[in-house]
Chain A
Amino acid sequence: MISDITLGQFFPGYSPLHKLDPRTKIILAVLAIVTVFLANNTASFVFLTLITLLLISISRISLDVIIKGIKPILFILIFTSLLNIFMTEGRGEPLVDVWIIKIYTEGIVRAIFMALRVTLLIVLTSMLLTYTTSPIALTDGLESLLSPLKRIGVPVHTFAMMMSIALRFIPTLIEETEKIMNAQKSRGADFTSGSLIKRARALVPILIPLIVSSFKRAEELATAMESRCYRGDKNRTKLVKLEYRARDLAFMAVSVLILTAVALLSTLPYSMSFSGLLLDIIFYKI
């Protein structure tokens, strides 16, 4: 049930994407976000979707996993799509005009683009970061990218360690939440019916044991880390050394090219009318 959530989980593997330097992947993720926001017409979105599919096939992560990762944001997707469909005012004749509801072609186009944009954003960033990068590598990458900040006294290592521990305990805490929920259910607790307030209240008997046990875990983990000679980044070495290779440079170059391509595609003058034409064909001529 809850443990079906794949968002933010690492799938170990040996694909070219897995082998990329985590710093490269963080930079690529930033580039990907910029690229997704640059796209604003059919041509650029089709191009970006193809690139994303290509990336998925390179990573050798199954489509099921990706789809499962999108599921939690499905509600947001539908909600924003509906808002876009009903709230957008177009220039031409409305497609549907019943009572106060007016649906324009532009609204549908915008809804599709918005949904696609959010989906691509989630898929691209989770592909690049969480699915193919071990959280430790990710935090190592962040630590290394942010290390210039150490000079002005920012505890970069501590933050990186905190983040990696948080990531490490997500599955453990999910498992525990499920266990506590089952235990409470077996005592007759009901989480699924009643008003919103009643349901929120029903969560209290889950949250309290969860918080208490998290504190206990934190203490035990701190003790275990100390007894394994942990003392911050003082004189600490790493098993995995971060190194930029030819592969990293290639990926960077390609993604800069993609960004440029998308930027160019989205400046095509007939952008909106082209998309509008497509929808006209779909909704009227059939």
Chain B
Amino acid sequence: MISSYKKAHLSQISYKYAAVPNGRKSKKTEKNMDNTLIRTENLTFFYEGEDGFADTAEQKGVKNINLIVNRGEYVAILGHNGSGKSTLAKLLNMILSPTSGKIFIDGVDITREDFTEDGVFDVRRKVGMVFQNPDNQLVATVVEEDVAFGPENLGLPREEIRRRVNSALAKVKMTEYARHAPHKLSGGQKQRVAIAGIIAMKPDVIIFDESTAMLDPIGRRDVIDIMKELNRNEKITVINITHYMDEAAGADRVVVISEGEIVMDGTPREVFSDVKRLHKMGLEAPQSSELLTELNSLGLGIQGEALTCEECVELLLTKLDGHR
């Protein structure tokens, strides 16, 4: 566990170019154009009938979002309730259409006026979504028939659907439940079935829209492990929208959204080092970062950052050793 985290951090690249201010492209962005999967330009969305940000408590819009997600990235989007993070996800999947601004998926402008129904179909094939409530995304009464729902909609031949269903179920370790009824599974298992249903469509990117929020700790851990495996082994781009800091700490990159705007964007280390700023936005850093900040504010002067429990223990032990 510890080593895998460290590996992820070692392989990190700088994402300084990721947030493009007001559509002005930096040189670095242009260099990476072919690697860009999702790009938004001044993306703004208001819920109907509202002016400015007088949205309802549950549904918040977004404004001037400039975000670039590259192929193979593992991005966590953080924000407290009503920060607009789910709205952003729904925009990328064309469930919502932006009020203004542009979205490019795989180089295709999906906000074009003359965008056809087949275009929408294509976007949804590329951008898979896993939602919060596992019960409300399972359509069929048998696990494997539910996993087949997506591929069936894609119009794939029968043998191909069968192959994809089997391999998707294997990837989420639910093969033995293939003929079970979904309502008899636990929350975590249901969510794994929902993920298999998306994997079977072979998307380029999977957006997890608070997919762990309704799960127990074991179910949460399973889902997070699957996210990591998909990203590492299947090279699927993962966007995890969450308000759990510990989940975000495991990502390659963290984007913080507050009041519908991107306020922070960087590696977990960069983002979580600024604990005070996170607090201002109603967010907390991972517990280890919180603890170190508290200790340092008492004047202990501990050097370094810790995102996981193990790292934190190591730091504290070195500090204690120094005192002896």
Contacts and interface: CB of A to CB of B under 8 A. Distances in A.
A190 interface: no
Interface stretch (A34-42, A86-94, A227-235, A257-265): A227-235
A166 B141 CA distance: 10
B142 A224 contact: no
A78 interface: no
A225 interface: yes
B148 interface: yes
Interface in A156-197: 164-165, 167-168, 171-172, 175
Contacts of B179: 12
B181 interface: yes
Interface in B141-165: 141-142, 144-145, 148-158, 161-162, 165
Nearest to B155: A235
Interface string B124-146: 11011101010111111110110
A223 B183 CA distance: 20
A168 B136 CA distance: 10
Contacts, number: 102
Contact of B152 (A135, A223, A238): A238
Interface in B51-109: 90, 93, 95
Contacts of B250: none
A229 B183 contact: no
Contact of B121 (A12, A217, A231): A231
Given A223-B131, A226-B95, A228-B198, A12 B153 contact: no
A135 B141 contact: yes
A251 to B, nearest CB: 22
Given A172-B183, A239-B148, A136 B140 contact: yes
Contact of A228 (B153, B161, B162, B183): B153
A243 to B, nearest CB: 11
Contact of B139 (A221, A236, A237): A221
Contacts of B90: 223
Contacts of B48: none
Interface residues on B, range: 35 or more
B198 A217 contact: no
B95 A223 contact: yes
A220 interface: yes
Interface string A237-249: 1111100000000
Contact of A229 (B124, B135, B180): B124
A84 interface: no
B260 interface: no
Contacts of B158: 237-239, 241
Given A223-B95, A224-B137, A229 B181 contact: no
A168 B141 contact: yes
Interface of B: 90, 93, 95, 117, 121, 124-125, 127-129, 131, 133, 135-142, 144-145, 148-158, 161-162, 165, 179-181, 183, 197-198, 201
9 contacts: A134-B145, A167-B141, A168-B140, A168-B141, A224-B129, A227-B127, A227-B128, A228-B124, A228-B201
- Chain A to chain B: the 7 pairs with minimum beta-carbon distance, closest first: A224-B137, A239-B148, A220-B136, A229-B153, A235-B155, A171-B183, A228-B150
Interface of A: 10, 12, 134-136, 164-165, 167-168, 171-172, 175, 217, 220-221, 223-231, 235-241
